[in-house]
Amino acid sequence: MGELISRERAHEMLIGPGLPYEIEPFQISGVTLRTWKHAPKNLREVLEQSEKFSDSEFMILGNRRISYVGHYNLVCKLSHFLKSSMGVSKGDRVALVMRNLPEWSVAFWATTAIGAIIVPLNAWFTGKELQHCINDCGAKVAIVDFKRANILRSFYGQLMVKRVIVTEEQESILVGPEISFNHVIKDSPDNKKLPDVQIGPDDDATIFYTSGTTGKPKGAVGSNRNICVNILTSNFRASVRQLCRGMTPRVLGGSPNQAKTLVPVPFFHVTGCHAILAAGVYAGSKFILMKRWDVEEALKLISTEKITNVVGVPGMILQMLESEIFDEWDTSSITSISYGGAPAMKKLGDLISRHLKNVDAENGYGLTEASALVAYNAGKMYEKKSWSCGFPSPICDVEVKNKSSELVNQGDVGEIFIRGPNVVRGYWNNQKETDRKFSNGWFATGDIGRIDQYGLLEILDRHDDILIRGGENIYTVEVENILVAYPGVIEAAVLGRDHAVLGQEVVAFVRTKSQQNITEEELILHCRKNLAEFKIPVELNLTSDPLPTNAAGKILKRSLQKSITRA
């Protein structure tokens, strides 16, 4: 290991004329932005360059182990089938509805390689939600796992798709428009090359449907450029992190050792798809999949597969580090931990440094409309303020504005706006929401935060999660951080309950370790020592059971809200 260097020095070594992460200006829709000069032009190019990793292992799920060359050959077969037999052309939509499986990756790359638009849908959507999204995007074909096929069957009469390709299938009970994924692969010619299609950087590549607090899911339309610049941003931040730790990244001639990444988050979210899968394919990473998040299974995989990179939402990392069985497993192979997707608990950085020595830790911020990554926090600043989201990417602009759309002073709180080549063009089939959220290249995130004296971005809350009690704003993340800081508390969710006089009051759901006999009284006393009186929960719901989460591991506050009654 070499000399530790600063973030600024790392940037000097990576950004500049002739360097791996050179930046250049470009214009799109009349707006001048910055982008990575050497970013791939499209996702097809990313896939084609993965051939150089040849026989290296690509993906592992249980007993299934697939090499890079094996994955590429499967992609070639499926892409020819989609184009020749299904009539899928450039710009057509293909819906993808399945949990994390190797076939998910095959379908993603096969679709984007022929210039079609892949539409990854949340595998935990209801049948009605899936019907809305599939019809809204006008998908010509859907590729699904068997469980999702079962959910969709009662909607086949209302779906516009031509065919439904089913993997994990029980062939004897395929019905209606369903065909077997395995038979498609088995019966397709042994093509070793992709179909010939010209794809431009600004051609649409993905539609990710986001679930809002109200209304139906909205489809964020991402271009090839959006995703490819994020791929380089993801690899750039890894290079910076390595330099700050005194290591030489691969782009500067460092060790070509393959990263082994544990994937507990779903590919159907942009973090899993863009920041992990696409960025990892570009770098030749190995992906170790989990059927579902389980602390013991994660620790087992880390130990047996010698995992080097662990990614997830903050709650996953916290659960793993605070697990009673953590010390029973060998975690010495871990070199990197990255988390984001939800505000980080203040104690998480200390836990990582205490339990995992010589590990690069990183907190980040991103969202669907930004094709994943916007800002990241690593190195010395992470050690100083680990709960911060860090500095914006060199190609992203971040501003904080008040309700009058005026810039606030540094350190003041407001809504976060972002701009960059990673920001999508808008929402599919929804001009009203596009006009409301996008303007002159800027996207209004709906996240509330500030930029501190160091220039670090800090997320305080979602706009919709802020509580207003008697005219006072309460940021739920602040209260959650205080609760989680108490010994024996694993996770917390703070919500508002309607109040006839005050408007809202604070209610908290708190998960504790099973062997800890924590009482409401001691938690309230802890809150009184650390919070203003108006922020203290009027009701605490203690449990040793996990709080409900979505597939990405984020706590489902709306599910908890249903159990709250008006005061």
Q: Which pTM was predicted?
A: 0.88
Which residue is listed with tokens 């077997």? 180
Separation in Å, CA 47 to CA 140, 280, 348, 422: 23, 11, 35, 19
pLDDT digits (tens, 9 = 90+) for 322-353: 999 999 999 999 999 999 877 777 888 889 98
pLDDT band at 214 (very low <50, low <70, confident <90, very high): very low
pLDDT band at 278 (very low <50, low <70, confident <90, very high): very high
Please state, in angstroms and rounded to a whole number, the distance separating the CA atoms of residues 271 and 170.
31
Paired tokens of 56: 């290296």
- Contact call for residues 371 and 222 (beta carbons, < 8 A): yes
- Contact call for residues 389 and 398 (beta carbons, < 8 A): no
Length of the chain as a residue count: 567
pLDDT digits (tens, 9 = 90+) for 390-412: 999 999 999 999 989 999 999 99
- Contact call for residues 373 and 237 (beta carbons, < 8 A): yes
**Range ranked top by mean pLDDT from 72-76, 458-462, 478-482:** 72-76
Indicate the DSSP class of residue 132: H
pLDDT of residue 126: 87
pLDDT digits (tens, 9 = 90+) for 279-327: 999 999 999 999 988 999 999 999 999 999 999 988 889 889 999 999 9
- Contact call for residues 245 and 4 (beta carbons, < 8 A): yes
Paired tokens of 142: 């859907």
pLDDT band at 212 (very low <50, low <70, confident <90, very high): low
pLDDT of residue 70: 97
Separation in Å, CA 294 to CA 216, 326, 530: 30, 12, 32
pLDDT of residue 3: 62
Q: How many helices (H) and strands (E) does the chain have?
A: 18, 28
Max Cα–Cα distance, the chain, nearest Å: 71
Q: Domains in the chain and their CATH numbers?
A: 43-222 (3.40.50.980), 466-561 (3.30.300.30)
